Amino acid sequence: MSWKAALTPYLNHPEAYSKETILFYDTNVVIINDAFPKSTFHLLVIPRNKVLTKKHPAVALTESEKNRLEPYIDIATKYVYDKFMKKYKVKGKQLNKESFIEQFIKVGVHSIPSMNNLHIHVITNDFYSDRLKNKKHYNSFNSNFFINWEELPFSEIPDPKVVEKEYIKNKDLVCCYCENNFGNKFAQLKSHLKEEFNDCFIKK
């Protein structure tokens, strides 16, 4: 089986996996921990509809589809919020659940999905992870390469060549906390992200 098809077994037989891998499933979706998380918490919400799963998310996630999936997005964001708040405290702030989700959790899809099956990312906006290893990993979530849930659907599928060039190759690395520009210096950005994380959060 190719790497691009790696999500398919989760859809077909979610009951075969541990609770650490499959966080939730029913007849409509499977919610999993991303195997290569790019932030402290990184989940995938994967619709099980056999037609929808083959479509590009930018155009497939119509308002009606989003409405059907919204309860599952809520399950994923609540899970992330609960797990994060059990592990960390936000320094100098008293944030309710809604404020935390608005400031620190991103929900959306990639303009050029890396996997065959349609999936939605629910990810903390810290990018503090050993699995964040290069410029593409970072900019795929911190540029218009990433399509926020509220922006969906698009009228047409984004042009992969244009998207890759504009938002990955030619896009500078800009800190998601302070907006400092690191150009192409990924190692410096990653070190800075660690500092920013430790300035914002403390382990309980």
Cβ atoms < 10 Å from Cβ of 142: 20
**193 three-class SS:** helix
Q: How far apart are CA 60 and CA 102, in angstroms?
A: 24
Q: Which run of H or E residues covers position 79?
A: helix 63-87
Record the tokens describing residue 83, joined without a space: 């797990």
Record the tokens describing residue 43, joined without a space: 């989940």
Q: Using the structure block, give the residue that is written with the tokens 């065959």.
A: 116
**DSSP-derived secondary structure letter, 100:** H
Record the tokens describing residue 157, joined without a space: 């599928």
Which position among 119, 121, 137, 192 bears the catalytic label? 119
Q: How far apart are CA 37 and CA 123, in angstroms?
A: 8
Q: 119 an active-site residue?
A: yes
Q: How far apart are CA 58 and CA 103, in angstroms?
A: 23
Q: Which residues are catalytic?
A: 119
